[in-house]
A and B are shown apart, each in its own frame.
Chain A
């Protein structure tokens, strides 16, 4: 059987000519030409629709910043396990001055991350304001100066989630849900995603909400990642490397 000419099928698909009797007879008998015509018609319709897709608007800048924050946090995470083997890279709670980034592990990512973090900080007066406010006498209002949705991390069941809010009082309010049961306890950390320096903010009891005081001079611009880990009763003050929840603070 002689198939319809391809040019003829294109004509029909573009609606330039109508299906005549000869076309109809062939199409009725030929699944191949029928399918080809249907595909070409569909594609022609999509092509005609595509006129509206010229000059689509750019995504807002904060979408890119969000991508960078998430990727930076994820990129640095595998180092947690490695850090655990080192002699105490963690500054324990209440040890006085906050940890200072050593800057020895900075790569291209850190530079990108710095840009993203700086941009976020500039765009969100809240975070910058927090640092300034916390250095002085904290006001008593329960304003939220920064917040972070916390999502299940790594192999944690995806139902686990939480919310972190830094209050104007200099406290961290943490709400968690569906955390997996662990043999030890949950600990809350602030992490600098650029250097992976971290310090413990406190532990989480059995409840779903906890209010933890932050060090008065904490730099949330650097220590922007909130992490909830599963810890053993092992007298090791370092992060176990087993993160359950994680999120990046934004103002």
Chain B
């Protein structure tokens, strides 16, 4: 089963085998149609990336209905502001997550304000909601999306290293792929993940290291 973060067209044809699209092409084409105002592209973008945006919202916001509101607001804002999306500065999903990140931060601030008001009344010690940090969640989603887009062999080797904690030598033994080839797949895969994180990631380290995203 391959990783499918924000990547499957929909549930029905979520890829479960090694069948792979041309790298980048369907995403680029979708981004182009989205920006041009093709209504069908909005639905496709939602089918592909709605899960990732909802995940960002549910893992950062405590209240489920706040998270769904933030998801809705993200896609509405993205569609109404689609002309500000610049494909040269990052991917469509990276841009959507950037908007989603702002929406959840706005909501977190508003919750924090409300909590401060409540706190002054109740004298509660800890008003901070216990959700994850939005930047980390965005970074994780962006890297997961890039991992899903890697050529099959690169992705397979990296998954064995990341998820199964195998060494290069063990991966070569398990897969029967020569050690030199394993090294080269992992090196290239890591370089792609890093580049993507630098372009589309939210954390300060990512942004200062890479291009400034559309946010």
Contacts and interface: CB of A to CB of B under 8 A. Distances in A.
Contacts of B3: 50-51, 53-54
B168 A50 contact: no
Interface residues of A, number: 39
Contact of B5 (A53, A57, A62, A109): A53
B84 to A, nearest CB: 15
Name, among B5, B79, B143, B183, the residue most crowded by chain A CB atoms within 10 Å (CB to CB). Answer: B143
Nearest to A17: B167
A56 B162 contact: no
A59 interface: yes
Given A63-B50, A67-B72, A109 B140 contact: no
Interface string A57-101: 111101110110011001000000000000000000000000000
A55 interface: yes
A24 interface: no
B177 interface: no
Nearest to A13: B190
Given A11-B168, A39-B205, A49-B140, A56 B54 contact: yes
A59 B54 contact: yes
Given A16-B168, A74-B76, A48 B190 contact: no
A106 interface: no
B30 interface: no
Given A47-B158, A51-B162, A67 B75 contact: yes
B143 A50 contact: yes
B92 interface: no
B54 A63 contact: yes
B77 to A, nearest CB: 10
Interface string B141-176: 101100100000000001001110001100000000
A54 B1 contact: yes
A58 B190 contact: no
* Interface SS of chain B: helix
A46 B68 contact: no
Contacts of A108: 39
A57 B75 CA distance: 17
Nearest to B2: A54
B198 to A, nearest CB: 8
29 contacts: A10-B190, A14-B186, A16-B161, A35-B209, A43-B143, A43-B190, A46-B197, A47-B144, A50-B3, A53-B3, A53-B52, A54-B1, A54-B3, A54-B5, A55-B4, A56-B51, A56-B54, A56-B55, A59-B50, A59-B68, A59-B71, A63-B72, A66-B72, A67-B46, A67-B76, A71-B42, A71-B76, A71-B79, A74-B80
Interface of B: 1, 3-5, 11, 39, 42, 46, 50-55, 68, 71-72, 75-76, 79-80, 139-141, 143-144, 147, 158, 161-163, 167-168, 183, 186-187, 190, 193-194, 197-198, 205, 209
